[in-house]
Chain A
């Protein structure tokens, strides 16, 4: 018998008991749909996190004081001098740009409205290093720095809170901690990311912050230095160069660093491993339901073999070999799981789509992604489930003695 005939016969036999076949298929549909949906959610989570990490800058390194992992005694604060030293083209050829910043928070008000965003004192390099764009107005410039100008760039969320809209606000005067600041522009929205909203912040010139808003014990102190490497390949070298320069400047030739360097790649791989575990975990749970569906197939095939004992006996009497019977029943079980697989893929895709829509309705930047790999995996896995759980019943059918089988009532 050819495979095509076996296929047609299996289809005929399965359609002979539609309710039973349908319920068996349903088990596989649920399993495959769960696998597809879960993998899609996992992948979507990974992409959204990867996206938001990439959005914070290009080839970025963060340098901050102390070390959260080790208890360092009296860590030296980072200073503007440190930042300047990192700009040295000869000591640090892998470094493209350096942007020291002061971080604080304060009350911002306009008219009767007020808000408490993060306030950052930044240098003009900051915008390049952090990939910040503006939708209107101008960036913070060297003139602003030199003049310690009372100017501010608003995040779109802050502008929204204060003015009710985020366009056409350039030129207005707001108050930060009671001091008047002129709005020189609005930042482009970055959306909610893994680090809270980056839209809810106000950027002012570094020197202004230093002098008037975010006071530190020594005047040249900085809270964090953002460093951009020349390219993605030299991020590790840049990290080594920063280490060597800062160790020299902090006079710590031995012992642990009194500062911490964190690269974008570190961040990326940390979150990727988290989402990876999440995906495996979700997929594993979904896989269990696929397994249950497979057991359903096996169960129904065993019932079918028992019911059709006489038919098997007859087929053997007419000359069916062991292989013919084996093929017949394996085709049936594979067909069950394959149909379930196809419907399950469609169904799982719909679930993923619905999850995406729900996330969108809740303003979460999260789109589940049904990958070709997930589809391939689910198809192969469901076919394998059908074969695996069909083998035992099919073997049982093929091994029947024709005499016994024909006598069976």
Chain B
């Protein structure tokens, strides 16, 4: 099986005024295509930094990171934006939908930025169908429940057929029953389409459902990688 992510000695240093804070102190691991894994760790462990780096929202200070065959550590802002658009689907804890836009328009958003005009609506509709919201297409976020909003967000994440889905506490704002549904949906999508799923969480129940857990402590991998 091929590796969708190869991270080699990734370090990230933040400058807080005069003081330099090391958020990641040399992290190396690989993730195989189609894998489901979770990243765990207490707050301040570098969990968010690692997620931002893997999701191409931020560049590591040093180290090598290859996402789906593309070395991204040295790309500029616009190139990173393009990689995010094509290869990464984000699911956030607080959904982050555009509140004035309909569900389908929200799902279309990544396609707009990739310049896809042909069949945009169809692809967005298929994505919404895949998350079971085909009857809520023209609803706006405030007309939807929390679970439905997160489904829209998941549809938005998969609409561009990304290589990985980065989910940051995807069930954090939902009650346990709906949270379970969302987890099942994510796992089903992984089984059906083989998209790599990375879940950042501090909930052991969630981590249990993944094939592998990456634990971070003080910016370093904790235990088996």
Contact = CB atoms under 8 A, between A and B. Distances in A.
B29 to A, nearest CB: 21
B193 to A, nearest CB: 19
Interface string B74-108: 00011001101110001010001010110000000
Interface string A379-409: 0000000000000000000000111001000
Interface in A1-58: 1-2, 5, 12-13, 16
A406 B96 CA distance: 9
A320 B55 CA distance: 14
Contacts of B109: 315, 318
B57 A318 contact: no
Q: Which of A13, A310, A317, A318 has the most C-beta atoms of chain B within 10 angstroms of its own C-beta?
A: A318
Interface string A170-208: 000000000000000000000000000000000000000
A321 B78 contact: yes
A406 B55 CA distance: 13
B96 A319 contact: no
A253 B112 CA distance: 86
A314 B57 CA distance: 10
Contacts of A314: 96, 98
A322 B84 contact: no
B121 to A, nearest CB: 13
A310 B117 CA distance: 26
Interface residues of B, number: 26
B142 to A, nearest CB: 13
A315 B55 contact: no
**Interface majority SS (helix, strand, loop, mixed), chain A:** helix
Q: Which of A1, A314, A317, A324 has the most C-beta atoms of chain B within 10 angstroms of its own C-beta?
A: A317
B179 to A, nearest CB: 21
A316 interface: yes
Interface residues of A, number: 23
Given A5-B112, A324-B113, A403-B57, A317 B90 contact: yes
Contacts of A317: 55, 57, 84, 90
B58 interface: yes
A318 B100 contact: no
Contact of A319 (B52, B98, B101, B110): B110
Contact of B81 (A2, A16, A316): A316
Contacts of B110: 318-319
A2 B116 CA distance: 11
Interface string B110-140: 1011110100000000000000000000000
Interface of A: 1-2, 5, 12-13, 16, 310-311, 314-324, 401-403, 406
Top-5 shortest CB links A-B: A319-B85, A319-B113, A321-B78, A321-B81, A314-B96
8 contacts: A314-B98, A316-B84, A317-B84, A318-B85, A318-B109, A322-B78, A323-B78, A403-B57
